[in-house]
Amino acid sequence: MKLYNLYLSNFATKSRLVIYEKGLNVEMAPIPGGELSSPEYAKINLLGKTPALEADGLLIPESEVINEYFEDKYPTPRCCRRAPRAAPGCESSRDSMTFISSRRCEHCSAR
């Protein structure tokens, strides 16, 4: 599996948190072409945003969708927000994701 990401991206960080929490073997890949708007990266994520995950022959955009994919495929330890009351052990990861997703980064165009 490969995560196309920028280290300062808060959305990519949401997916990296889940990757580290679950101990997944995911290669951290730079953005092909060096820019989110590059033609090379458009072949991976037409939205031109980071992160994007390459796994099982799929190209998956959107941090939440990527995290759901991880949650479905690697359910332990649980890191999602689907049933927070049923997953008390996930509170620190969930809180981190909520905290991080409430912040902005220099790469975000939606301000």
Q: Which residues bind ligand GSH (CB under 6 A)?
A: 9-11, 36, 48-51, 62-64, 105, 107-109
Indicate the helix (H) or strand (E) that contains 19. Answer: helix 10-22
CB of 88 to ligand GSH, least distance (A): 25
Q: How far is CA 64 from CA 31, 38, 40, in A?
A: 19, 23, 23
User: In this chain, which residue has its C-beta nearest to ligand GSH?
Assistant: 49
CB closer to ligand GSH, 94 vs 107? 107
CB of 52 to ligand GSH, least distance (A): 8
The answer to whether residues 107 and 9 touch, using CB atoms and an 8 Å cutoff, is yes
CB closer to ligand GSH, 10 vs 93? 10
- Token readout for 44 is 């991976």
CB closer to ligand GSH, 24 vs 68? 68
CA 110 to chain centre: 18
CB closer to ligand GSH, 3 vs 90? 3
Write down the residue that tokens 């994919």 correspond to.
Answer: 69
Strands 2-4 and 58-61: unpaired
CB of 76 to ligand GSH, least distance (A): 24
CB of 65 to ligand GSH, least distance (A): 8
